[in-house]
Amino acid sequence: MATCPNCKRKLSCGCQRRTASNGATVCSSCLSSYEKTLKPAQPTKTTTTTNTIAKPQTLSEWGKDRYKNLNKFIK
C-alpha cells in the first residue's frame, strides 16, 4: 500500500490517489491543501526586439507612388 507524502495516510486503492501539479502522488482529501503549499512557478521573462523605421518628415519624401502596392488590397 502507498502512503500519502502530505498527510501520511495509507492509500488502499487507486481511486484515492491524485497527481499534483508537480507530479507528486497525494491522496484525494489533501490534494487542494498540497497544491497551496507549492510555490508558484516564476514566469519567464520574454524580451522582444522591434525594429523601428524612421518615418519621413515631409510628404514629398514618401514619393507620389507610395500607395501603388495598395491596389491589390482594395476591392
Q: If residue 37 lies in a helix (H) or strand (E), which one and from where to where?
A: helix 31-37
The alpha carbon torsion through 43, 34, 15, 5 (nearest 10 deg) reads 120
Instruction: Give pLDDT, residue 17.
Output: 86
Residuewise pLDDT in 10s, the chain (75 residues): 778 878 888 877 878 888 888 888 888 888 888 888 887 766 666 777 776 766 666 655 566 666 777 777 776
Q: How far apart are CA 48 and CA 43, in angstroms?
A: 15
Q: What 3-state DSSP class applies to 34? A: helix
